[in-house]
Amino acid sequence: MNTKAIKQLMKEKKITQSEAAKRLGMSQCVLSQKINNKRPVTVYEAERLQEILEIEDKEFRFYFLSRDVA
């Protein structure tokens, strides 16, 4: 996951990790670990986060298949 890009997009869209985690059905701590590449992200979770953050399909690879870390 592209940590920097995900965090920046969340900031721009004013979506907190707590809010996103609630919508994903996980704790904020677990989502933080996933965003920071400390835990694996399932395809389902990536697709749900894509919906939450309104990421276009053509941008999916940039956000979810890159390992840029903050």
Domain ranges, ordered by start, for the chain: 3-56
Per-residue pLDDT at 57 = 96
Per-residue pLDDT at 66 = 76
Task: Name the residue among 59, 25, 27 with its Cα closest to residue 44.
Answer: 25
Mean pLDDT of 23-49: 97
Per-residue pLDDT for 22 more than 80? yes
* Residue 68 banded pLDDT, cuts 50, 70, 90: low
CATH superfamily of 3-56: lambda repressor-like DNA-binding domains (1.10.260.40)
CB 41 within 8 A of CB 34: yes
Q: Write out pLDDT tens, residues 39-61.
A: 999 999 999 999 999 999 999 99
